[in-house]
């Protein structure tokens, strides 16, 4: 058969009708695609210590997720390409083919239906809050009061936890960490609820408030999300994460960021569970 342009277009249309064409959500050969593109597209969002943008240059220069992305890109012998998203839009960005991976994303049951996750953990962190100095809180139930206003990033595991455990609180949802912390800084809310590492950085920057880890302590494993459809890429990511965790590299990246941010690493809980 001779394939001219008209024949090709007709066959392509038939394949699309039958659902035979590849889609981003059913991608295969991710490693080959990344190498051919020459870049690993990593989702990023302003949320120290995970991701931090240099406001002068506009470059994403530091943070655990940035270090992990740069290391994975180096392992693939490609460029590190940061792509700005939010926690709430990261999975959609994966499905649409906008990014290849998003670090520091919890593998919730809901997310597992739309994205793939490796078995190895990236790190562990504890749920905490940065609160007014005069807010009395020791347990999560101390927050279960309509008079207590809490800021939290929308569509995150922190949001889900508050919704389930302290639904009586005045829960105010924001697009990301930056907006939630800004609401606390401006006095619009009594506390901001995040996992402890971003709160350490926020407390240092704001110079006010207190960090509390309410009981019972909620320690979560976090991971990295990739597009569904290619087990080879998931296996590669799993191998990378496992190596970083078991060697302590992920803790080194974390402490490197804290030091550069003007914080003392010994004052912050570790992000490797075996060191807690």
CB-CB contact of 139 with 166 (8 Å):
no
How far apart (Å, rounded) are the C-alpha atoms in residues 45 and 26? 25
How far apart (Å, rounded) are the C-alpha atoms in residues 88 and 96? 14
Q: Examine residue 216 and say whether the peptide bond preceding it is cis (omega within 30 degrees of 0).
A: yes
Domains for the chain: give ranges and CATH numbers.
5-123+221-275 (3.40.190.10), 125-219 (3.40.190.10)
DSSP string, 62-97: ESHHHHHHHHHHHHHTSEEEEEE--GGGHHHHHHTT
User: What digits encode the pLDDT tens for the residues 234-257?
Assistant: 999 999 999 999 999 999 999 999
How many residues appear in the chain?
276
How far apart (Å, rounded) are the C-alpha atoms in residues 121 and 113? 18
How far apart (Å, rounded) are the C-alpha atoms in residues 201 and 3? 60
pLDDT at 271 over 90: yes
Segment holding 117, helix H or strand E: none
pLDDT averaged over every residue in the chain: 89
pLDDT at 258 over 80: yes
- Chain mean position to CA 251: 16
User: What digits encode the pLDDT tens for the residues 38-75?
Assistant: 999 999 999 999 999 998 999 999 999 999 999 999 99
pLDDT at 24 over 60: no
Axis crossing angle, helix 249-260 with helix 196-206, rounded to the nearest 10: 10
pTM greater than the 0.85 cutoff: no
How far apart (Å, rounded) are the C-alpha atoms in residues 151 and 171? 6
Q: Which letter does DSSP use for residue 169 in this model?
A: S
User: What pLDDT is stored for residue 28 in this prediction?
Assistant: 58
How far apart (Å, rounded) are the C-alpha atoms in residues 210 and 86? 26
Structure tokens of 192?
A: 């901001």
């Amino acid at each position: 058969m001779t394939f001219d342009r008209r024949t090709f277009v007709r066959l392509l249309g038939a394949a699309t009708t039958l659902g035979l064409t590849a889609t981003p959500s059913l991608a295969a050969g991710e490693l080959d695609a990344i190498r051919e593109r020459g870049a690993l597209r990593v989702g990023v969002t302003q949320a120290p210590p995970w991701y931090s943008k240099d406001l002068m240059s506009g470059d994403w220069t530091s943070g655990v997720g940035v270090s992990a992305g740069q290391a994975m890109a180096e392992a693939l012998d490609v460029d590190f390409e940061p792509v700005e998203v939010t926690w709430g839009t990261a999975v959609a960005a994966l499905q649409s083919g906008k990014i290849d991976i998003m670090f520091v994303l919890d593998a919730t049951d809901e997310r597992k239906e739309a994205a793939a996750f490796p078995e190895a953990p990236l790190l562990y962190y504890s749920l905490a809050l940065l609160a007014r100095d005069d807010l009395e809180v020791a347990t999560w139930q101390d927050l279960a009061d309509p008079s207590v206003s809490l800021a939290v990033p929308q569509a995150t595991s922190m949001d889900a936890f508050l919704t389930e455990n302290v639904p009586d609180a005045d829960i105010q949802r924001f697009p990301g960490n930056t907006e939630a912390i800004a609401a606390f800084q401006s006095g619009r809310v009594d506390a901001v609820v995040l996992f402890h590492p971003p709160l350490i950085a926020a407390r240092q920057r704001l110079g006010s408030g207190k960090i509390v880890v309410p009981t019972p302590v909620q320690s979560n494993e976090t991971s990295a999300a990739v597009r569904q459809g290619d087990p080879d890429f998931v296996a590669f990511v799993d191998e990378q994460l496992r190596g970083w965790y078991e060697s302590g590299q992920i803790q080194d990246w974390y402490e490197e960021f804290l030091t550069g941010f003007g914080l003392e690493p010994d004052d912050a809980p570790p992000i490797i569970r075996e060191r807690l």
